[in-house]
Structure 1
């Protein structure tokens, strides 16, 4: 399952900045950052359920927003990249 996660976290106070870091860390545990508040996740349904639960627990619905885009199995045809930063094949090998 290929999911695009986007979020907007209020950083007016210290608590908001902490939430922002926490949400980014959760997303990094399941996928890769492609923009400041945009992550691509290639996960199985169990991983997605776990990730989504953690994200919804971390954010504050009165101040923050989250969007999840489900791109499905044919995501290669649905994702197009243009611009300076090269696109990364999330299903390719990971070199650390």
Structure 2
């Protein structure tokens, strides 16, 4: 499945900054960062359940937010990128 994960973490405190780093690290393990707080992930549905739970366990629902966008198999070809950062091949090798 192709999922876009975006997050907004309150970083006014040290614990918030720590949550931000942890959430980013989790996302980096499963996808490609395409914006500061946006990741494109191509993962099997059963693995997504685990990723989602890790993120939910890390975030503070009173201060932070997570968004998951589920795209179909063919939707990755419908992504239009314009700007400085070079696009990548989501089916290519992911180096962690």
TM-score (structure 2 length as normaliser)? 0.93
Number of the residue aligned with 2:51: 51
Which whole-Å CA distance do the structure 1 matches of 2:46 and 2:10 have between them?
29
- What per-residue deviation string (whole Å, max 9, x for no partner) do you get for residues 25-44 of structure 1? 00011111111100010100
- What per-residue deviation string (whole Å, max 9, x for no partner) do you get for residues 30-80 of structure 1? 111111100010100111111001001110010001100001111223211
TM-align CA RMSD: 1.3
Q: Which runs of 4+ in 1 moved over 6 A?
A: none
Which whole-Å CA distance do the structure 2 matches of 1:48 and 1:78 have between them?
22
TM-score (structure 1 length as normaliser)? 0.93
Which whole-Å CA distance do the structure 1 matches of 2:94 and 2:7 have between them?
25
Number of the residue aligned with 1:27: 27
Number of the residue aligned with 1:2: 2
